[in-house]
Amino acid sequence: MTTTRFAPSPTGYLHVGNLRTALMNYLIARKAGGTFILRIDDTDPERSKEEYVDAIKQDLEWLGLTWDKVERQSERLGRYAEAATKLRDIGRFYEAFETPVELDLKRKKQLNMGKPPVYDRAALALSDAERAALRADRGQGVWRFKLDHQRIEWADGIIGDVSIDAASVSDPVLIRQDGQVLYTLASVVDDTDMGVTDVVRGSDHVTNTATQIQIIEALGGTAPRFAHHSLLTGPQGEALSKRLGTLALRDLRARGVEPMALLSHLARLGSSDPAELMTDMAALVDGFEVSHFGTAPTKFDVEDLFPLTGRYLQSLPLEAVRDRVLAAGVSEDRAEAFWTVIRDNIETLNDVDGWATLCRDGATPVIDDEDREFVAQAITMLPEGPFDADTWGAWTSAVKAATGRKGRGLFMPLRKALTGQAHGPDMGALMPLLNVVKAR
């Protein structure tokens, strides 16, 4: 069975960058009728917070990305200890004691010599007595996985064939000096134990994937299929990491972005498929192919989400938004007509409030100086309410006959006087919804 996972760290809120990874893994599992695991990477007790665990779940639920089961890495520390013991027993795990300053000096020396800054494995040459002395002086060391210096190869679902020389990579630290198990070891053990078959993640993990494949094989497991998607950038190609604080999912939700607009955009962004709006999850699942994605950095502009949200809302019947329309103060008997009139003129549901207020209370007129006398005369000719579907046509015809104005010079000043806006719904359809007109 196809099994995928999304493994966020509960150290902050989800943003569009890690959502893209979650979405791809979700779609693969759902298309195959498989299992999607939400795996909370909470092995760092100082940075992990329960409020972020709750926030992650809330964001995924808002988007409709339902999981089949939840795993907590903090509850699996015993399994990681077992794996570490096995690696020690087979000679693939060793303790190293260099300080950060010493490691930095080594890296600088290697770079100055034109060599890659790879850990020199000095710890392997230590005698038992030297290790004991260092441990007594500095405390526990870190634990590194000893890579086999051979090429690590796999067929990547996006990049294609990948081949990395393990000798060009430092032996990865899997357990910190304070005993904390790091992502690389925990992820390998979990993927193996949980039967994960497919892993999609960012291209910044390619080297990490190479080391994980060796760790998996050392522990007797089988590596899953890997695919590494391109990283998102800002609209000008700038690093997205500088803007992630403004791209948290909860902030996008507060701004009115609709889940399907966001998911549809991210599911196509950077792929060979044309950008198109999917209005339901089934279509999104059915049309997803990870192999359609490219390797070039992918530009993401949050402003693209708002036209998509508007298009999505235009496809919805009243029943899908009835509660929101009623909450804006629109009466039940006028809700259908209200939604039909305004839905083509909103970008998000947040805009419903403005149109509801306009229909209920009228708008502050916008009147250009050259139109002031014309509008004043026209307002005197406006019939008493309630207005109906014929009011706009009859009124503008009468004003045209009285003033000689026509075309844009007739209609635009009157629209701006009644709505305070130069654009909006067809005035013939909007007029029956207007209760009050404020004129100056």
Q: pLDDT at position 390, please?
A: 96
Q: pLDDT at position 439, please?
A: 40
Percent of the chain with pLDDT strictly greater than 90 = 90
Average pLDDT rounded to a whole number, residues 360-384: 95
Residue 237 has pLDDT above 50, yes or no: yes
Q: pLDDT at position 239, please?
A: 82
Average pLDDT rounded to a whole number, residues 387-415: 96
Residue 246 has pLDDT above 80, yes or no: no
Average pLDDT rounded to a whole number, residues 382-394: 93
Interval 290-345: pLDDT, tens: 999 988 889 999 999 999 999 999 999 999 999 999 999 999 999 999 999 999 99
Average pLDDT rounded to a whole number, residues 14-30: 96
Q: pLDDT at position 244, please?
A: 59
pTM: 0.91
**Structural domain boundaries of the chain?**
233-314, 322-433
Of residues 234 and 147, the one with the higher pLDDT is 147
Q: How far is residue 164's CA from residue 14's CA, in Å, rounded to a whole number?
A: 31
Q: pLDDT at position 437, please?
A: 46
Residue 243 has pLDDT above 70, yes or no: no
Q: pLDDT at position 245, please?
A: 60
Interval 42-99: pLDDT, tens: 999 999 999 999 999 999 999 999 999 999 999 999 999 999 999 999 999 999 999 9
Q: Does domain 233-314 have CATH number 1.10.1160.10?
A: yes
Average pLDDT rounded to a whole number, residues 177-200: 97
| Mean pLDDT rounded to a whole number for the chain | 94
Q: pLDDT at position 440, please?
A: 33
Residue 255 has pLDDT above 70, yes or no: yes
Q: pLDDT at position 123, please?
A: 98
